[in-house]
Amino acid sequence: MKILKNIFLISLVIIVSSCQKWLTVKPDDRSTEDQLFESTKGFYTALNGIYTDLTASDSYGAAWTMTTTEILAQRYNVNQEHTLFTTANYAFQQETVKSSMGSIWSKSYFQISSTNNIIEQIEKRKAVFTTPIDYALIKGEALALRAMLHFDLLRLFGPMPKSGNQLEAIPYYTENNRKAAPILSFDKVIENIITDLNTAVELLKDDPIITEGPLYSDNQLGGDLQKRYRTLRLNYFATLGLLARVQLYAGNNQQAYACATKVIDLGAKWFPFIKTGNIMGSSTNPDRIFSTEILFSLQAPQRQQTHLAYFTPELDAKNILAPLPKRLEEVFEKNQNDFRYTPIWISKDGSQDTRVFAKYKNIEDSRLNYNNRIPLIRLSEMYYIAAETHEDPNEGLKFLNVIRNARGLVSLSNLNVQQWQTEIEKEYIKEFYGEGQLFFFFKRLGKATIPDGKSANNISMSPSKYVVPLPESETRYRN
């Protein structure tokens, strides 16, 4: 695999650049590595370097959340004149699309290599840790990150989950070396992901977030920065929530339900639903990401630049990512009471007919903790998973109604199975704009048609549109 050449040296550049204030780099690479991992603080710095790198535009700073995966889900009106039409048209053999998909692939495996380096080093240097909690948190988060990255690569480049369990998917890297790992089947990749996440959950069983919550205050835990702001890291609740997401994608409904309801039961007190006044009643500092409900997010200082590059009203039609007005109205059923509608979709040029996406637009008070954050896992998804996987649809509907009520909508009742499934789909469409989950929802269910982003019609889907081919850099290297 091409990107594995000199991967460790590249990893050190990223990690070291994120900690220049306290780390003086020596010219010898081995000395640099020894210096970085000679203390607990150094391990946290290396881990922080990965979280920082996740905010890159070809990672979760845009591609996995706001742009590529959302375009594949037909979120926006990306017509023939648009600069990203080839992506929206699933033209995976076009050079521009091959390049962007190749960047996503390379970046993700680079980040996986960085997690593997931490996992290897932490086993070699256990004596560095004076308290078991630091060892457990660092290793648990690194394993969870490795699993998350492999899982998203599987969802994008792997076969359809309903029919491709034995088909070749992607390689799963557990070692930080230059050897190319074999390409595994869908089932084998899922098995490795679940193994990593189960181990991570066990390691994170004493995560401060379980008893203390997200710990946003500077004076909590005696000012120990690495154990605060836990929702900016793959904490216990986020890792368990990620496991629920994986189990659902794999078709393991009972396990998915168990994980999701455990997050709900243990985490509800720490992740209250957004207050009406914080989203509907604030014109200057609306909490458009519903920050109180987020299990895991990234702190991305460049989020505003991404907003300006893709969503600001000043962009012309061939560059802006915006939905057709009628399509947006249809999604929200013209219901102005839905918290996810008017505050997040603001009018363009004062026109109520044309709205632009403002979830990631900066607020006036940059000191508020929900500015610059990009959500990756939120509590509402656990309710959707519980609703979908409950053995009794009527009981599952109760979970769905919890979120509807929290979004300003009335409860539903007396639905048949088809209506119940339709309502879950509606919620995924409304809830996860700009978070990259909808395309994978469609792929998991094997939807034969999905709403077309550039017209009022539906677009036919097939495995050739759902499965992105492995990049040429990967296939060439193996051949």
- The crossing angle, in degrees rounded to 10, of helices 95-124 and 132-157 is 160
Instruction: Print burial letters for 315-327: b (CB count within 10 Å at least 16), e (below 16).
Output: eeeeebbbbbbeb
Question: Residues 150, 41, 195, CA angle at the centre, nearest 5°?
Answer: 25
pLDDT tens track of the chain, all 479 residues? 444 434 344 444 444 444 333 223 333 455 577 788 999 999 999 999 999 999 999 999 999 999 999 999 999 999 999 999 999 999 999 999 999 999 999 999 999 999 999 999 999 999 999 899 999 999 999 999 999 999 999 999 999 998 878 999 999 999 988 788 999 999 999 999 999 999 999 999 999 999 999 988 655 555 567 788 999 999 999 999 999 999 999 999 999 999 999 999 999 999 999 999 999 877 789 999 999 999 999 999 999 999 999 999 999 999 999 999 999 999 999 999 999 999 999 987 666 568 999 999 999 888 888 899 999 999 999 999 999 999 888 899 999 999 999 999 999 998 888 899 999 999 999 999 999 999 999 999 999 999 999 999 999 999 999 999 999 988 887 76
pLDDT for residue 223? 54
Three-state SS at 377: strand
- Domain positions in the chain are 2-213+234-285+287-299+364-478, 311-357
Please state the φ and ψ torsions of residue 280, each to the nearest 5 degrees: -90, -20
pLDDT for residue 280? 86
pLDDT for residue 11? 46
Closest to 278 in 3D by CA, of 291, 266, 287: 287
pLDDT for residue 403? 98
Helix, strand, coil share of the chain (percent; to 5): 50, 10, 40
pLDDT for residue 21? 35
Q: Give me 43's structure tokens.
A: 């391990």
pLDDT for residue 429? 98
Q: Give me 93's structure tokens.
A: 């053999």
How remote is the C-alpha of 444 from its chain's centroid?
16
* Beta bridge partner(s), residue 171: 183
pTM of the model: 0.92
- In angstroms, the CA 135 to CA 206 distance is 11
Closest to 384 in 3D by CA, of 370, 401, 400: 400
**2-213+234-285+287-299+364-478 maps to CATH 2.40.50.140:** no
For residue 89, the 8-state DSSP code is T
Instruction: Print burial letters for 281-314: b (CB count within 10 Å at least 16), e (below 16).
Output: eeeebbbbbbbbbbbbbbbbeebbebbebbbbee
Residue 218: burial class (beta carbons within 10 Å; 0-12, 13-18, 19+): exposed
For residue 77, the 8-state DSSP code is -
